[in-house]
A and B are shown apart, each in its own frame.
Chain A
Protein backbone atom coordinates (compact mmCIF):
# COMPACT_ATOMS: atom_id res chain seq x y z
CA UNK A 1 0.00 0.00 0.00
CA UNK A 2 1.47 3.35 -1.05
CA UNK A 3 1.06 6.21 1.39
CA UNK A 4 2.47 9.64 2.06
CA UNK A 5 3.44 9.78 5.70
CA UNK A 6 5.63 11.53 8.24
CA UNK A 7 8.70 9.95 9.83
CA UNK A 8 6.99 9.66 13.19
CA UNK A 9 4.13 7.72 11.70
CA UNK A 10 6.58 5.48 9.88
CA UNK A 11 7.81 4.40 13.32
CA UNK A 12 4.23 3.68 14.37
CA UNK A 13 3.55 1.66 11.22
CA UNK A 14 6.79 -0.26 11.76
CA UNK A 15 5.66 -1.16 15.26
CA UNK A 16 2.19 -2.12 14.03
CA UNK A 17 3.52 -4.36 11.27
CA UNK A 18 6.01 -5.91 13.70
CA UNK A 19 2.98 -6.79 15.84
CA UNK A 20 4.34 -5.01 18.89
CA UNK A 21 2.47 -6.31 21.91
CA UNK A 22 3.25 -3.70 24.54
CA UNK A 23 3.77 0.01 24.13
CA UNK A 24 4.81 2.11 27.08
CA UNK A 25 5.73 5.67 26.22
CA UNK A 26 5.73 9.22 27.52
CA UNK A 27 5.12 12.17 25.19
CA UNK A 28 7.83 14.65 24.21
CA UNK A 29 8.14 16.95 21.23
CA UNK A 30 8.97 15.87 18.52
CA UNK A 31 7.92 12.30 19.25
CA UNK A 32 4.28 12.74 20.25
CA UNK A 33 2.81 11.75 16.89
CA UNK A 34 4.46 8.31 17.15
CA UNK A 35 2.57 7.51 20.29
CA UNK A 36 -0.64 9.28 19.24
CA UNK A 37 -0.94 7.10 16.16
CA UNK A 38 -0.04 3.94 18.09
CA UNK A 39 -2.68 4.85 20.65
CA UNK A 40 -5.26 5.27 17.85
CA UNK A 41 -4.18 1.98 16.31
CA UNK A 42 -4.69 0.25 19.67
CA UNK A 43 -8.04 1.96 20.15
CA UNK A 44 -9.42 0.94 16.76
CA UNK A 45 -8.13 -2.60 17.12
CA UNK A 46 -5.69 -2.56 14.21
CA UNK A 47 -2.87 -3.00 16.70
CA UNK A 48 -3.48 -5.62 19.34
CA UNK A 49 -1.18 -4.20 21.95
CA UNK A 50 -1.33 -3.24 25.59
CA UNK A 51 -0.83 0.52 25.80
CA UNK A 52 0.64 1.57 29.15
CA UNK A 53 0.49 5.23 30.11
CA UNK A 54 3.52 6.04 32.21
CA UNK A 55 4.53 9.16 34.09
CA UNK A 56 8.04 9.63 32.70
CA UNK A 57 10.52 8.21 30.24
CA UNK A 58 12.39 6.45 33.01
CA UNK A 59 9.16 4.59 33.73
CA UNK A 60 8.55 4.07 30.01
CA UNK A 61 11.76 2.12 29.68
CA UNK A 62 11.22 0.33 33.01
CA UNK A 63 7.74 -0.76 31.92
CA UNK A 64 9.15 -1.80 28.54
CA UNK A 65 11.69 -3.93 30.32
CA UNK A 66 9.04 -5.64 32.38
CA UNK A 67 7.00 -6.37 29.26
CA UNK A 68 9.96 -7.66 27.29
CA UNK A 69 11.07 -9.81 30.21
CA UNK A 70 7.59 -11.32 30.29
CA UNK A 71 8.04 -12.28 26.62
CA UNK A 72 6.19 -9.48 24.88
CA UNK A 73 7.52 -7.72 21.78
CA UNK A 74 7.88 -4.20 23.12
CA UNK A 75 8.12 -0.80 21.45
CA UNK A 76 8.64 2.69 22.76
CA UNK A 77 9.83 6.06 21.50
CA UNK A 78 11.39 9.17 22.92
CA UNK A 79 13.79 12.03 22.28
CA UNK A 80 16.54 14.15 23.86
CA UNK A 81 15.61 14.97 27.45
CA UNK A 82 13.43 11.85 27.57
CA UNK A 83 16.22 9.62 26.32
CA UNK A 84 18.57 11.16 28.84
CA UNK A 85 16.07 10.53 31.62
CA UNK A 86 16.01 6.85 30.59
CA UNK A 87 19.78 6.54 30.66
CA UNK A 88 20.08 4.31 33.71
CA UNK A 89 17.41 1.99 32.38
CA UNK A 90 19.03 1.82 28.93
CA UNK A 91 22.05 0.21 30.57
CA UNK A 92 19.68 -2.08 32.42
CA UNK A 93 17.84 -3.19 29.27
CA UNK A 94 21.10 -4.28 27.70
CA UNK A 95 22.43 -6.06 30.77
CA UNK A 96 19.09 -7.78 31.20
CA UNK A 97 19.35 -8.86 27.52
CA UNK A 98 15.97 -7.51 26.49
CA UNK A 99 15.41 -6.95 22.73
CA UNK A 100 13.27 -3.83 23.05
CA UNK A 101 13.03 -1.63 19.95
CA UNK A 102 12.80 2.10 20.49
CA UNK A 103 12.44 5.01 18.12
CA UNK A 104 14.55 7.98 19.11
CA UNK A 105 13.92 11.29 17.45
CA UNK A 106 17.25 13.10 17.55
CA UNK A 107 16.72 16.42 19.26
CA UNK A 108 19.35 18.76 20.64
CA UNK A 109 19.89 18.72 24.38
CA UNK A 110 18.75 21.63 26.56
CA UNK A 111 19.59 24.19 27.79
CA UNK A 112 18.95 26.29 25.86
CA UNK A 113 15.49 24.84 25.29
CA UNK A 114 15.20 23.52 21.75
CA UNK A 115 13.15 21.18 19.57
CA UNK A 116 15.44 21.01 16.55
CA UNK A 117 17.64 18.19 15.41
CA UNK A 118 21.04 17.11 16.65
CA UNK A 119 22.45 13.63 17.26
CA UNK A 120 24.11 14.26 20.61
CA UNK A 121 21.17 12.75 22.52
CA UNK A 122 21.58 9.28 21.02
CA UNK A 123 25.36 9.59 20.66
CA UNK A 124 25.53 10.20 24.39
CA UNK A 125 23.95 6.75 24.82
CA UNK A 126 26.41 4.90 22.59
CA UNK A 127 28.04 3.22 25.57
CA UNK A 128 24.83 1.62 26.82
CA UNK A 129 25.09 -1.39 24.52
CA UNK A 130 22.04 -0.55 22.42
CA UNK A 131 22.15 -1.19 18.68
CA UNK A 132 21.84 2.18 16.91
CA UNK A 133 20.44 2.61 13.39
CA UNK A 134 20.64 6.12 11.86
CA UNK A 135 17.98 6.52 9.17
CA UNK A 136 17.78 8.91 6.29
CA UNK A 137 14.34 8.47 4.72
CA UNK A 138 10.75 7.84 5.79
CA UNK A 139 10.74 4.45 4.05
CA UNK A 140 13.90 3.45 5.87
CA UNK A 141 12.38 4.38 9.23
CA UNK A 142 9.43 2.05 8.74
CA UNK A 143 11.56 -0.78 7.37
CA UNK A 144 14.22 -0.37 10.07
CA UNK A 145 11.79 -1.03 12.92
CA UNK A 146 10.97 -4.41 11.38
CA UNK A 147 14.61 -5.25 10.70
CA UNK A 148 15.60 -4.05 14.18
CA UNK A 149 13.30 -6.59 15.82
CA UNK A 150 14.64 -9.33 13.59
CA UNK A 151 18.23 -8.58 14.58
CA UNK A 152 17.62 -7.67 18.22
CA UNK A 153 15.60 -10.79 19.00
CA UNK A 154 18.26 -13.11 17.62
CA UNK A 155 20.96 -11.74 19.90
CA UNK A 156 18.96 -10.38 22.86
CA UNK A 157 20.29 -6.86 22.50
CA UNK A 158 17.96 -3.83 22.46
CA UNK A 159 17.93 -1.54 19.40
CA UNK A 160 17.10 2.06 18.70
CA UNK A 161 15.95 3.40 15.34
CA UNK A 162 17.14 6.99 15.18
CA UNK A 163 15.74 9.82 13.04
CA UNK A 164 16.32 13.56 12.74
CA UNK A 165 13.82 15.83 14.41
CA UNK A 166 11.61 17.65 11.94
CA UNK A 167 13.74 16.90 8.89
CA UNK A 168 12.58 13.32 9.11
CA UNK A 169 10.11 13.12 12.00
CA UNK A 170 7.76 15.79 10.64
CA UNK A 171 8.47 15.49 6.94
CA UNK A 172 5.93 13.66 4.84
CA UNK A 173 6.98 11.62 1.84
CA UNK A 174 6.14 8.57 -0.23
CA UNK A 175 6.29 5.36 1.76
CA UNK A 176 5.30 1.86 0.85
CA UNK A 177 3.59 0.07 3.68
CA UNK A 178 4.56 -3.61 3.36
CA UNK A 179 1.89 -6.31 3.50
CA UNK A 180 1.29 -7.70 6.95
CA UNK A 181 1.58 -11.33 5.82
CA UNK A 182 4.92 -10.64 4.18
CA UNK A 183 6.17 -9.00 7.36
CA UNK A 184 4.90 -11.98 9.35
CA UNK A 185 6.89 -14.29 7.09
CA UNK A 186 10.02 -12.12 7.56
CA UNK A 187 9.59 -11.56 11.28
CA UNK A 188 8.36 -14.52 13.30
CA UNK A 189 6.83 -14.28 16.77
CA UNK A 190 9.18 -13.29 19.57
CA UNK A 191 10.04 -16.23 21.82
CA UNK A 192 12.02 -15.02 24.78
CA UNK A 193 13.98 -18.07 25.92
CA UNK A 194 14.76 -16.27 29.16
CA UNK A 195 11.35 -14.90 29.96
CA UNK A 196 9.76 -14.51 33.38
CA UNK A 197 7.78 -17.72 33.78
CA UNK A 198 5.92 -18.64 36.94
CA UNK A 199 6.20 -22.30 35.93
CA UNK A 200 9.95 -21.97 35.79
CA UNK A 201 10.71 -19.41 38.46
CA UNK A 202 14.09 -17.73 38.53
CA UNK A 203 15.72 -14.56 39.79
CA UNK A 204 17.35 -12.16 37.32
CA UNK A 205 20.11 -9.59 37.65
CA UNK A 206 21.36 -10.67 41.06
CA UNK A 207 24.60 -9.52 42.69
CA UNK A 208 27.54 -10.75 40.61
CA UNK A 209 31.09 -10.32 41.80
CA UNK A 210 34.30 -9.81 39.87
CA UNK A 211 34.52 -13.56 39.32
CA UNK A 212 31.70 -13.63 36.80
CA UNK A 213 30.52 -10.10 35.92
CA UNK A 214 33.31 -9.85 33.39
CA UNK A 215 32.13 -12.92 31.46
CA UNK A 216 28.58 -11.59 31.27
CA UNK A 217 29.94 -8.40 29.75
CA UNK A 218 32.00 -10.43 27.33
CA UNK A 219 28.80 -12.16 26.19
CA UNK A 220 27.12 -8.83 25.47
CA UNK A 221 30.00 -7.67 23.31
CA UNK A 222 30.29 -11.01 21.56
CA UNK A 223 26.58 -10.88 20.77
CA UNK A 224 26.35 -7.26 19.65
CA UNK A 225 29.20 -8.00 17.25
CA UNK A 226 27.01 -10.68 15.67
CA UNK A 227 24.76 -7.85 14.53
CA UNK A 228 27.39 -6.86 11.98
CA UNK A 229 26.69 -10.03 10.04
CA UNK A 230 23.03 -10.18 10.97
CA UNK A 231 22.29 -6.76 9.51
CA UNK A 232 23.71 -7.86 6.19
CA UNK A 233 21.85 -11.18 6.26
CA UNK A 234 18.53 -9.74 7.37
CA UNK A 235 19.09 -6.89 4.94
CA UNK A 236 19.41 -9.31 2.03
CA UNK A 237 16.32 -11.21 3.17
CA UNK A 238 14.44 -7.92 3.35
CA UNK A 239 15.53 -7.13 -0.17
CA UNK A 240 14.32 -10.48 -1.46
CA UNK A 241 10.99 -9.98 0.19
CA UNK A 242 10.38 -6.24 -0.15
CA UNK A 243 12.81 -5.04 -2.78
CA UNK A 244 14.84 -2.80 -0.49
CA UNK A 245 18.24 -3.61 1.00
CA UNK A 246 19.42 -2.25 4.36
CA UNK A 247 22.89 -3.09 5.60
CA UNK A 248 25.45 -1.50 7.89
CA UNK A 249 26.26 1.36 5.53
CA UNK A 250 25.20 2.77 2.20
CA UNK A 251 27.69 3.87 -0.45
CA UNK A 252 27.21 6.27 -3.31
CA UNK A 253 29.61 6.71 -6.24
CA UNK A 254 32.37 5.31 -4.06
CA UNK A 255 34.25 3.02 -6.45
CA UNK A 256 36.98 5.24 -7.83
CA UNK A 257 36.54 8.07 -5.34
CA UNK A 258 39.71 9.81 -4.14
CA UNK A 259 37.89 11.94 -1.60
CA UNK A 260 35.23 10.25 0.50
CA UNK A 261 32.60 11.98 2.59
CA UNK A 262 31.49 9.86 5.53
CA UNK A 263 28.36 10.99 7.31
CA UNK A 264 24.91 9.89 8.43
CA UNK A 265 21.17 10.57 8.55
CA UNK A 266 19.61 13.47 6.61
CA UNK A 267 22.95 15.13 5.87
CA UNK A 268 23.97 11.96 4.03
CA UNK A 269 20.79 12.23 1.98
CA UNK A 270 21.39 15.86 0.94
CA UNK A 271 24.99 14.88 0.19
CA UNK A 272 23.93 12.67 -2.73
CA UNK A 273 23.05 15.49 -5.15
CA UNK A 274 26.24 17.24 -3.98
CA UNK A 275 28.29 14.21 -5.01
CA UNK A 276 26.43 14.19 -8.35
CA UNK A 277 27.19 17.86 -8.88
CA UNK A 278 30.89 17.51 -8.00
CA UNK A 279 31.24 14.40 -10.16
CA UNK A 280 29.82 16.30 -13.10
CA UNK A 281 32.49 18.92 -12.40
CA UNK A 282 35.11 16.20 -12.73
CA UNK A 283 35.92 15.55 -9.06
CA UNK A 284 36.32 11.95 -7.96
CA UNK A 285 34.24 12.16 -4.81
CA UNK A 286 32.14 9.51 -3.13
CA UNK A 287 29.89 9.03 -0.12
CA UNK A 288 29.56 6.54 2.71
CA UNK A 289 26.45 6.81 4.84
CA UNK A 290 26.95 5.07 8.16
CA UNK A 291 23.60 3.54 9.01
CA UNK A 292 24.45 1.14 11.84
CA UNK A 293 26.59 3.03 14.37
CA UNK A 294 26.43 0.36 17.07
CA UNK A 295 27.94 -2.08 16.52
CA UNK A 296 30.41 0.13 14.68
CA UNK A 297 31.27 -1.27 11.23
CA UNK A 298 35.03 -0.94 11.66
CA UNK A 299 36.09 -3.76 9.36
CA UNK A 300 33.84 -2.61 6.57
CA UNK A 301 35.12 0.95 6.85
CA UNK A 302 38.70 -0.26 6.82
CA UNK A 303 37.97 -2.11 3.60
CA UNK A 304 36.26 0.83 1.92
CA UNK A 305 38.47 3.69 3.10
CA UNK A 306 41.91 2.14 2.73
CA UNK A 307 43.77 3.57 -0.22
CA UNK A 308 41.67 6.72 -0.52
CA UNK A 309 43.45 10.04 -0.83
CA UNK A 310 41.33 11.93 1.72
CA UNK A 311 38.38 11.29 4.00
CA UNK A 312 36.09 13.82 5.64
CA UNK A 313 33.55 13.02 8.31
CA UNK A 314 30.62 15.30 9.06
CA UNK A 315 29.06 15.05 12.52
CA UNK A 316 25.77 16.52 13.55
CA UNK A 317 26.75 15.91 17.16
CA UNK A 318 29.63 16.71 19.47
CA UNK A 319 31.36 15.04 22.36
CA UNK A 320 32.61 18.13 24.16
CA UNK A 321 36.30 18.15 24.80
CA UNK A 322 36.98 15.69 21.99
CA UNK A 323 35.25 15.94 18.61
CA UNK A 324 32.29 14.65 16.71
CA UNK A 325 31.57 11.00 17.50
CA UNK A 326 31.51 9.56 13.98
CA UNK A 327 34.83 11.26 13.23
CA UNK A 328 36.51 9.88 16.35
CA UNK A 329 35.29 6.36 15.65
CA UNK A 330 36.07 6.32 11.93
CA UNK A 331 39.58 7.51 12.74
CA UNK A 332 39.92 4.82 15.40
CA UNK A 333 38.81 2.12 12.97
CA UNK A 334 41.45 3.20 10.44
CA UNK A 335 44.28 3.80 12.88
CA UNK A 336 46.19 0.57 12.36
CA UNK A 337 45.80 0.53 8.59
CA UNK A 338 49.12 1.15 6.84
CA UNK A 339 48.95 4.17 4.61
CA UNK A 340 45.61 5.25 6.00
CA UNK A 341 44.25 8.47 4.47
CA UNK A 342 44.27 11.79 6.35
CA UNK A 343 40.86 12.56 7.85
CA UNK A 344 39.01 15.81 8.38
CA UNK A 345 36.30 16.15 11.01
CA UNK A 346 33.55 18.75 10.54
CA UNK A 347 30.78 19.77 12.89
CA UNK A 348 27.62 21.03 11.22
CA UNK A 349 23.93 21.36 11.84
CA UNK A 350 23.88 21.36 15.64
CA UNK A 351 20.58 22.51 17.13
CA UNK A 352 18.85 22.08 13.78
CA UNK A 353 21.02 24.55 11.87
CA UNK A 354 20.17 23.77 8.27
CA UNK A 355 22.81 21.97 6.19
CA UNK A 356 22.12 22.81 2.55
CA UNK A 357 23.98 21.50 -0.47
CA UNK A 358 26.41 24.41 -0.73
CA UNK A 359 27.55 23.92 2.87
CA UNK A 360 28.26 20.25 2.22
CA UNK A 361 30.06 21.15 -0.97
CA UNK A 362 32.11 23.72 0.95
CA UNK A 363 33.31 21.08 3.40
CA UNK A 364 34.38 18.73 0.62
CA UNK A 365 36.14 21.60 -1.16
CA UNK A 366 37.97 22.62 2.02
CA UNK A 367 39.24 19.07 2.40
CA UNK A 368 40.30 18.94 -1.24
CA UNK A 369 42.28 22.17 -0.81
CA UNK A 370 44.26 21.16 2.28
CA UNK A 371 47.04 18.56 2.43
CA UNK A 372 46.16 17.48 5.90
CA UNK A 373 43.82 18.66 8.64
CA UNK A 374 45.16 21.11 11.18
CA UNK A 375 42.39 20.79 13.78
CA UNK A 376 40.45 17.98 15.45
CA UNK A 377 37.21 19.87 15.03
CA UNK A 378 36.29 22.17 12.19
CA UNK A 379 33.19 24.15 13.09
CA UNK A 380 31.11 25.05 10.08
CA UNK A 381 29.04 28.19 9.96
CA UNK A 382 29.71 29.73 13.38
CA UNK A 383 28.64 33.37 13.11
CA UNK A 384 31.88 35.14 13.85
Chain B
Protein backbone atom coordinates (compact mmCIF):
# COMPACT_ATOMS: atom_id res chain seq x y z
CA UNK B 1 0.00 0.00 0.00
CA UNK B 2 1.02 3.64 -0.36
CA UNK B 3 3.34 4.78 2.42
CA UNK B 4 1.34 7.97 2.74
CA UNK B 5 -2.22 8.52 1.63
CA UNK B 6 -2.87 11.95 0.21
CA UNK B 7 -6.43 13.14 0.53
CA UNK B 8 -7.37 16.14 -1.50
CA UNK B 9 -10.17 18.36 -0.32
CA UNK B 10 -10.85 20.16 -3.53
CA UNK B 11 -10.00 20.50 -7.20
CA UNK B 12 -7.51 23.32 -6.65
CA UNK B 13 -5.44 21.07 -4.38
CA UNK B 14 -4.85 18.63 -7.23
CA UNK B 15 -1.94 18.69 -9.69
CA UNK B 16 -2.73 19.66 -13.27
CA UNK B 17 -2.61 16.10 -14.50
CA UNK B 18 -2.66 12.61 -13.06
CA UNK B 19 0.81 12.24 -11.65
CA UNK B 20 2.15 10.50 -8.62
CA UNK B 21 3.55 12.67 -5.86
CA UNK B 22 6.77 10.69 -5.64
CA UNK B 23 8.37 7.46 -6.69
CA UNK B 24 6.07 4.54 -7.32
CA UNK B 25 8.41 2.20 -5.44
CA UNK B 26 6.20 2.81 -2.43
CA UNK B 27 3.55 0.75 -4.23
CA UNK B 28 4.62 -2.80 -3.41
CA UNK B 29 2.78 -4.64 -6.15
CA UNK B 30 4.19 -7.95 -4.92
CA UNK B 31 1.10 -8.22 -2.74
CA UNK B 32 -0.94 -8.78 -5.91
CA UNK B 33 0.69 -12.14 -6.62
CA UNK B 34 -1.02 -15.50 -6.60
CA UNK B 35 2.00 -17.28 -8.09
CA UNK B 36 5.69 -16.70 -7.41
CA UNK B 37 8.64 -17.49 -9.72
CA UNK B 38 11.31 -19.77 -8.26
CA UNK B 39 14.63 -19.95 -10.11
CA UNK B 40 16.58 -23.20 -10.14
CA UNK B 41 20.24 -22.12 -10.13
CA UNK B 42 21.36 -25.57 -11.25
CA UNK B 43 19.46 -25.25 -14.50
CA UNK B 44 20.05 -21.52 -14.99
CA UNK B 45 22.66 -20.58 -17.62
CA UNK B 46 22.72 -16.89 -16.68
CA UNK B 47 21.52 -15.83 -20.16
CA UNK B 48 19.58 -12.91 -18.67
CA UNK B 49 16.49 -13.50 -20.84
CA UNK B 50 14.19 -13.47 -17.81
CA UNK B 51 15.68 -10.14 -16.71
CA UNK B 52 15.12 -8.73 -20.20
CA UNK B 53 11.53 -9.94 -20.50
CA UNK B 54 10.20 -9.04 -17.08
CA UNK B 55 7.60 -6.34 -17.82
CA UNK B 56 7.82 -4.93 -14.32
CA UNK B 57 11.62 -4.68 -14.04
CA UNK B 58 11.27 -7.09 -11.11
CA UNK B 59 14.28 -9.28 -11.79
CA UNK B 60 17.77 -8.07 -11.01
CA UNK B 61 21.12 -9.68 -11.68
CA UNK B 62 23.32 -10.46 -8.68
CA UNK B 63 27.12 -10.33 -8.31
CA UNK B 64 27.39 -13.88 -9.67
CA UNK B 65 25.25 -13.02 -12.70
CA UNK B 66 22.29 -15.04 -11.45
CA UNK B 67 18.83 -13.51 -11.77
CA UNK B 68 17.06 -12.66 -8.53
CA UNK B 69 13.32 -11.95 -8.32
CA UNK B 70 12.42 -8.72 -6.56
CA UNK B 71 9.53 -10.06 -4.52
CA UNK B 72 8.35 -6.62 -3.41
CA UNK B 73 7.21 -5.90 -6.95
CA UNK B 74 6.89 -9.19 -8.85
CA UNK B 75 3.21 -9.64 -9.79
CA UNK B 76 3.61 -13.27 -10.74
CA UNK B 77 2.75 -12.91 -14.42
CA UNK B 78 4.94 -15.89 -15.33
CA UNK B 79 6.53 -14.39 -18.43
CA UNK B 80 10.02 -15.19 -17.10
CA UNK B 81 9.05 -18.83 -16.65
CA UNK B 82 7.65 -19.03 -20.16
CA UNK B 83 10.66 -17.35 -21.77
CA UNK B 84 13.41 -19.16 -19.89
CA UNK B 85 15.20 -21.34 -22.49
CA UNK B 86 16.39 -23.73 -19.79
CA UNK B 87 13.03 -24.21 -18.03
CA UNK B 88 14.83 -23.09 -14.91
CA UNK B 89 11.89 -21.07 -13.56
CA UNK B 90 8.83 -22.60 -11.94
CA UNK B 91 5.71 -20.78 -10.75
CA UNK B 92 4.55 -21.82 -7.29
CA UNK B 93 1.38 -20.84 -5.48
CA UNK B 94 1.59 -18.18 -2.83
CA UNK B 95 0.23 -19.23 0.54
Contact = CB atoms under 8 A, between A and B. Distances in A.
Q: Do A and B bind each other?
A: yes
Contact of A111 (B8, B9, B10, B17): B17
Contact of B10 (A112, A113, A383): A383
A384 interface: yes
A384 B10 contact: yes
Nearest to B12: A384
Interface string B1-27: 000000011111000011000000000
Nearest to B13: A383
Contacts of B12: 384
B11 A384 contact: yes
B18 A383 contact: no
Contacts of A113: 18
Contacts of B17: 111-112
A383 B7 CA distance: 12
Interface string A99-117: 0000000000001110000
A50 B72 CA distance: 44
A111 B16 CA distance: 12
Contacts of A111: 17-18
Q: How large is the interface on B (under 10, 10 to 19, 20 to 34, 35 or more residues)?
A: under 10
Contact of A112 (B8, B9, B18): B18
A87 B9 CA distance: 37
A48 B78 CA distance: 35
Contacts of A1: none
Contacts of A383: 8-11
Contacts of B11: 382-384
Nearest to A382: B11
Nearest to A379: B11
A384 B10 CA distance: 5
Nearest to A112: B18
A294 B17 CA distance: 33
A384 B11 CA distance: 6
Interface string A106-133: 0000011100000000000000000000
Contacts of B8: 383
Interface in A245-295: none
Nearest to B8: A383
12 contacts: A111-B18, A112-B17, A112-B18, A113-B18, A382-B11, A383-B8, A383-B9, A383-B10, A383-B11, A384-B10, A384-B11, A384-B12
A118 to B, nearest CB: 15
A308 to B, nearest CB: 34
Contacts of A382: 11
A382 B14 CA distance: 12
Nearest to B9: A383
Contacts of A112: 17-18
A261 B82 CA distance: 56
A112 B11 CA distance: 15
Nearest to A113: B18
A347 B17 CA distance: 20
A14 to B, nearest CB: 34
A113 B18 CA distance: 9
A80 to B, nearest CB: 15
